[in-house]
Amino acid sequence: MAAALRIQGLKKSFGGLPAIADVSLDVAAGERRLIIGPNGAGKTTLFNLLNGFLRPDEGEVLIDGRNMSGERPHTICEAGIGRTFQVMRPFLRMSITDNVVVGAYVRAKTEDEARKLAADAIARVGLSDVADRVAGELSTKELRLTELARALAGQPRILLLDETLAGLGHGEADEVVAVIQQLARDGITIAIIEHTMQAMVRLVDSFVVLDHGAVITEGEPEVVTRDNRVIEAYLGKKWVAHAPH
């Protein structure tokens, strides 16, 4: 399969501190890829490099084979990368529909088309029944889904989801996971940042583990969770001895 998203030798430092030391990875079209790692591993920095908030010091980001590194965020969005954020910032006084319409104009030429794309995106995340409510009075789960719909309205081919499950209860997390699963079945390539692996093991095709700005390992969930380096990164060296081998 061709790589929808290819990252080659990406580097980014803040002052003298390398946040992304040297990251290369491919995400195949239609793949669901989870990026995990402990706090400060560089996960969000990686996303910020991918969607143009930050310029890489070195290396390339290729979207469908096209080099997009150093382009500005709106150009990268037009190229087909949608993104949600760890901290939700909806337009609080606007309805869900209007919030999502904002995300549709990157594709839509007319207002009617934007409304249609928005309604479609809202249906995909299952918020059609509450679409007229004002964002300020929504629950965390509904806000997450609104944010997801806002990114979807621009019809991205690649979605970057930054801690979409943070702050959700078990039942709620399952609902959001189900939505993401459906999106993957519809052929959207998905990269997810998540802190905890549990909910994700069932959802994704493969893991990438970041620590100190570098890829420690990648592969299938079952393999990665037994990897000593991963256990060390999360729990410290002394736990490696306790791990089942």
Pair 3, 62: CB distance under 8 Å? yes
Nearer to another protein, 56 or 154 (CB): 154
Binding site for another protein (CB under 8 A): 51-53, 72-74, 77-78, 83, 85, 89, 91, 102-103, 105-106, 111, 150-151, 154
Nearer to another protein, 106 or 240 (CB): 106
Residue with tokens 């079945």: 185
CB of 49 to another protein, least distance (A): 13
Nearer to another protein, 189 or 227 (CB): 189
Nearer to another protein, 89 or 238 (CB): 89
Nearer to another protein, 42 or 154 (CB): 154
CB of 35 to another protein, least distance (A): 18
CB of 66 to another protein, least distance (A): 16
CB of 103 to another protein, least distance (A): 5
CB of 34 to another protein, least distance (A): 21
CA distance 108 to 119: 13
- The token duo for 231 is 């256990």
CA distance 68 to 186: 25
Nearer to another protein, 22 or 120 (CB): 120
CB of 150 to another protein, least distance (A): 7
CA distance 106 to 79: 10
